[in-house]
Amino acid sequence: MKAFIVVMILIAFLAPAAHGAILYVGPGEAYATIQAGIDAASDGDVIIVRDGVYTGIGNRDINFKGKAIYLTSERGPEFCVVNAQGTDSDPHAGFLFRSGETNTSAVDGFTITGANGGGIVCDRSSPTIRRNWVRTCSSYGIICSYNCAPLIADNIISENLRGLYFFSYCSPVIVRNLIVNNEGRAMKFYHMNTPTVENCTIAGNNISEKNLTVHCWTSSLTMTNCILRANGSDYTIYLATEGARKASAKVSYSDIEGGTAKIGVAAGCILTWGIGNIDADPLFADPANGDYHLKSRYGRWSPTANGGAGWVLDDVTSPCIDTGDPATAYANEPQPNGCRVNMGAYGNTHEASKGAWLPGDANLDCRVDVLDLIVIRNLFMHDAESGDNWRGDVNEDGQINVLDLIFSRNHMGTSRP
């Protein structure tokens, strides 16, 4: 993940709570431990945790105590680590939500590791869990039980004994998460849950526990824009019953390895196989080294390009690019974005792989009209390789001239999606 722009986070959070205080945690600050900062905070406050590795009492089993506060790291999970240091004889969790917290209670931007009581534990609570890296926990990365409705967004959940576990009457929204390289099941929904899973990549998990990647036990799953691949399981999704209680799943616009043949449906359960589903190699960039961006001839964000983060061009384009649900927002994807969201965890983010633009669409508004002719005219004879001048080279011949006007005119009236 990229380092965060803290100011933007604060603006987004403080808009509905402009009178909250900002508290700082870290060496030399008023609060030496994360728990001390939470204990001192009031509803509407923001707590910023300085860079560092946080261990020991006050930095594990961190309890929000029902407070509507926004807890964020200063620069993101690469720089701020909560190590619970749990052992079999002395188990610990990372964060605890046990006092009826709602989505106004948020934990944002931490690496959470070393927890054997759950990286993040929610009990009858519904916090916001965003932009964290939950890794190497010898239990589930995230555990939620009883009437929870958390927002779980933009996290990496990897190298844990299991990924996510939801127990009884939870209705989580799980969006844009990268769930990879875990042992056991990647997700389990046990007993009357109603999860929404959107734009998640679930791949490379070593599934041995009952050979199920996503286990839906008497629960009703809605899955859209997801990629489920290379998990080594007998069943990519399994719908299970318990007595009269049945499970169901609605799956659409997703890349599901094996298609319906790898979805187990117990007697009485219902699978709704919607439109837009595919079964194809998603062409991950470098999964062996943890890079699950999608390859693209039009541009792929790489964390290692040219000695640092940047864009590279591949010789192939993933079938998961520009094939998500047309009704899903895509505006956060860089141009050209094909006017449609990508499948997988990077869909509708600034790291989404680029797609083919609509032929003739010089102003990138997903339709070809007179406005595109104006853009091309204004870029006449400019260097097509300079800045974003490439937009005017709609026929892609390396020049911006009358041929581009003719090209756009010939595509006039087309639009996407």
Q: Containing domain of residue 295, as a range?
A: 281-356
* Per-residue pLDDT reduced to its tens digit, 292-338: 999 999 999 999 887 888 999 999 999 999 999 999 999 999 989 99
* Per-residue pLDDT reduced to its tens digit, 368-400: 999 999 999 999 999 988 988 988 999 989 999
Let me know if residue 152 belongs to a domain: no
Residue 19 shares a structural domain with residue 129: yes
Give the number of domains in the chain. 4
Neighbours of 246 (CB within 10 A): 18
Neighbours of 53 (CB within 10 A): 12
Cα distances from 170 to residues 38, 124, 144, 193, 196, in angstroms, run 26, 9, 7, 5, 10
Determine the straight-line distance between the first and last CA of the chain, rounded to whole angstroms.
30
- Alpha carbon 43 to its chain centroid, in Å, reads 27
Residue 11 shares a structural domain with residue 122: yes
E runs forming strands in 193-247: 196-198, 201-203, 212-217, 220-224, 227-229, 235-240
Residue entry with tokens 């001239």 = 401
Helix or strand or coil: residue 262?
Answer: helix
Residue 296 shares a structural domain with residue 222: no
* Per-residue pLDDT reduced to its tens digit, 55-76: 999 999 999 999 999 999 999 9
* Per-residue pLDDT reduced to its tens digit, 18-56: 469 999 999 999 999 999 999 999 999 999 999 999 999
Q: What is the DSSP letter of 282?
A: -
Residue 25 shares a structural domain with residue 100: yes
Choose among 314, 317, 407, 312: nearest CA to 358: 407
Let me know if residue 145 belongs to a domain: no
Residue 190 shares a structural domain with residue 260: yes
Let me know if residue 243 belongs to a domain: yes
Helices 370-378 and 402-410, interaxial angle, to 10°? 170
* Per-residue pLDDT reduced to its tens digit, 93-141: 999 999 999 999 999 999 999 999 999 999 999 999 999 999 999 989 9
Out of 279, 308, 336, pick the residue that ends a domain: 279
Residues 226 and 254 sit within 8 Å (Cβ to Cβ): yes
Residue 228 shares a structural domain with residue 326: no
Tokens of 49: 């945790």
* Per-residue pLDDT reduced to its tens digit, 336-374: 999 999 999 999 999 999 998 889 999 988 899 999 999
Residue 60 shares a structural domain with residue 108: yes
* Per-residue pLDDT reduced to its tens digit, 208-229: 766 789 999 999 999 999 999 9
Let me know if residue 153 belongs to a domain: no
Out of 279, 300, 334, pick the residue that ends a domain: 279
Query: Which CATH number goes with the domain that contains 372?
Result: 1.10.1330.10
User: E strand or H helix at 375, and its extent?
Assistant: helix 370-378
CA distance 374 to 379: 9
Q: Model-level pTM greater than 0.85?
A: yes
Let me know if residue 154 belongs to a domain: no
Choose among 220, 204, 205: nearest CA to 169: 220
Residue 275 shares a structural domain with residue 296: no
CA distance 379 to 377: 5
Residue 167 shares a structural domain with residue 57: no
Out of 279, 296, 317, pick the residue that ends a domain: 279
Residue 272 shares a structural domain with residue 289: no
Let me know if residue 233 belongs to a domain: yes
Residue entry with tokens 């779980």 = 152
Per-residue pLDDT band for 402 (boundaries 50, 70, 90) equals very high
The pLDDT of residue 12 is above 60: no
CA distance 360 to 28: 57
CA distance 109 to 1: 9
Helix or strand or coil: residue 261?
Answer: helix
Residue 44 shares a structural domain with residue 168: no
- Check residue 19 and give its pLDDT: 61
Let me know if residue 373 belongs to a domain: yes
Let me know if residue 143 belongs to a domain: no
Helix or strand or coil: residue 259?
Answer: helix
Helix or strand or coil: residue 193?
Answer: coil
- Check residue 209 and give its pLDDT: 61
Residue 25 shares a structural domain with residue 128: yes
